[in-house]
Amino acid sequence: MNRIITLNRSSVRIAAGLVRWHISRYLLRRDFPLLATFQLTNKCNFDCRMCNIKNNPRQDTLPLEDFKRIIDDLAEMGTVFVSLSGGEPLLIKNILDYVIYAKSKIPFVNLVTNGYLLSEDTAVGIAKSGLDSLSVSIDALGVKHDAIRGAVGAFDRAIGAIKLVKKHSPATGITVNTVISPWNLDDILALAELVASMGVLQKLQPVYVHPEFNGQAANYQAPKAQEIDISKVKAVIAGLLKKKSVSNSAYFLNCIPDFFAGEFKKDIFEQDCIYPSFCAEFTQDGLMYPCIVGKDWTGGYDVREGLKKVFSSRQYRDEVSRLTKCRLCRKNFSVCYVETRLTLPLTNFVRYNFNFWKQGLI
């Protein structure tokens, strides 16, 4: 996150939010969601090999009015960063209305997409919306990416989406999201070269197992970490560490071979997890989770009576306390969870980045 948020007019508000959260937590002993993520819809136009979200028998989209209500509450509480994803959010016909409203209240807004439906009109709309950053999923080159994502033309459309946004919305930062798996390992470094040549950033994470949903009809073929060549993974990571276009921390990248090998660096996993103390996650049904993985994708909280009331409730705070010992990031090594924990609180940012900076790795 430290490289993705670049200096712009929102930087002062973000910095102020960071200071306020630290004061609130460590002096006043009160938490609030500094960051928030939205799975706006679980509908998708792809059939990705690693994903099971598409098999959820309940296909929903968070209504705009419900979204606005949550954004209002988040803004009042002090949230400075919101990420909008799916499913595929561009399947929502009025998705830019979501972006525009979020930007009117929150300093930094990110949108995650596979890029397939991003047209020239959408790129123009993105410029008008003030979207701060766009994340586009690309896992490999050409037809290999198409095969992984289960959509013919996925690679060409994703590259086209990046070009359109660079042309029509140059103020919007762009990051290519890449999932490292047994299916694309040989393409990772070549893809990194392509990303760098396009003048955009790249963020990587290892493939992990998604949950299975009650009543799902399709059989989910979970990816198996043991299918990957660890020596190749280490070579790839060594190459990625040299790329200035890669936005991951060096610490996170160096943990990836350990994750695939079933071994874990200590440090971050020995700490109590405070992710639920600075983040809130929302799903397409409008429920809030302190950590959807820690809750095993069940038992979300209804926030229709007010997000602040729920966030400060005894039941929610007890759940946040329970999750400090969760450790499920060891099985779900998601960049969204681990990198934020390497960044917040700021003592972690110093602890997990400073030594790598001294070595010239970041």
Q: How confident is the model at residue 203 (pLDDT cuts 50, 70, 90)?
A: very high
Q: How confident is the model at residue 222 (pLDDT cuts 50, 70, 90)?
A: low
Rounded to 5 degrees, φ, ψ at 69 are -60, -45
Q: How confident is the model at residue 167 (pLDDT cuts 50, 70, 90)?
A: very high
| Domains in the chain: boundaries | 11-358
Q: What's the whole-number mean pLDDT along residues 243-269?
A: 89
Q: How confident is the model at residue 2 (pLDDT cuts 50, 70, 90)?
A: very low
Among residues 249, 256, 262, the alpha carbon closest in space to that of 348 is found at 249
Cross-strand partners of 61: 41
The conformation of residue 299, written as its DSSP 8-state character, comes to: -
The pLDDT, as a whole number, for residue 353 is 80
d(CA 321, CA 314): 10
Q: What's the whole-number mean pLDDT along residues 310-324?
A: 97
Question: What pTM was estimated for this model as a whole?
Answer: 0.93
345 prior amide bond cis, ω within 30? yes
Q: What is the mean pLDDT of the chain?
A: 91
6 pLDDT higher than 70: no
Query: Residues for the chain: how many in total?
Result: 362
Q: How confident is the model at residue 4 (pLDDT cuts 50, 70, 90)?
A: very low
Q: How confident is the model at residue 170 (pLDDT cuts 50, 70, 90)?
A: very high
Cα–Cα distances (Å) from 38 to 110, 111, 249, 268, 343, in that order, read 10, 10, 24, 25, 20
Query: What is the per-residue pLDDT across 36-61, written as a single tens digit (0 to 9) for each?
Result: 999 999 999 999 998 888 788 888 99
Beta strands in the chain (DSSP E): 35-39, 81-85, 108-113, 133-137, 173-180, 201-206, 279-282, 287-289, 301-302
The pLDDT, as a whole number, for residue 262 is 86
DSSP code string of 198-267: TT-EEEEEE--PPPPPTT--SPP----GGGS-HHHHHHHHHHHTT-TTB-S-HHHHHHHHHHHHT---SG
5 pLDDT higher than 50: no
φ/ψ region of 161 (left if φ > 0, alpha if ψ in -120 to 50, else beta) reads: alpha
d(CA 353, CA 237): 17
CB 52 within 8 A of CB 145: no
Q: How confident is the model at residue 214 (pLDDT cuts 50, 70, 90)?
A: confident
**Long-range CB contacts for residues 217-222, cutoff 8 Å, separation at least 24:** 217/55, 217/57, 218/55, 220/52, 220/55, 221/49, 222/52
Q: What's the whole-number mean pLDDT along residues 225-252?
A: 92
Q: How confident is the model at residue 225 (pLDDT cuts 50, 70, 90)?
A: low
Residues 6 or more apart in contact with residue 156 via CB below 8 angstroms: none
The pLDDT, as a whole number, for residue 3 is 42
Beta strands in 45-119 (DSSP E): 81-85, 108-113
The pLDDT, as a whole number, for residue 235 is 98
355 pLDDT higher than 80: no
The pLDDT, as a whole number, for residue 17 is 94
The pLDDT, as a whole number, for residue 236 is 98
Residue 359 or residue 64, greater confidence: 64
The CATH homologous superfamily to which domain 11-358 belongs is Aldolase class I (3.20.20.70)
357 pLDDT higher than 50: no
362 pLDDT higher than 70: no
The pLDDT, as a whole number, for residue 226 is 60
Query: What is the per-residue pLDDT across 275-285, written as a single tens digit (0 to 9) for each?
Result: 999 999 999 99
**Sheet holding 35-39: strands in order across?**
201-206, 173-180, 133-137, 108-113, 81-85, 35-39, 279-282, 287-289, 301-302
d(CA 309, CA 44): 33
Q: How confident is the model at residue 130 (pLDDT cuts 50, 70, 90)?
A: very high
The conformation of residue 28, written as its DSSP 8-state character, comes to: S
Among residues 280, 272, 252, the alpha carbon closest in space to that of 80 is found at 280
Q: What's the whole-number mean pLDDT along residues 199-227?
A: 82
359 pLDDT higher than 50: no
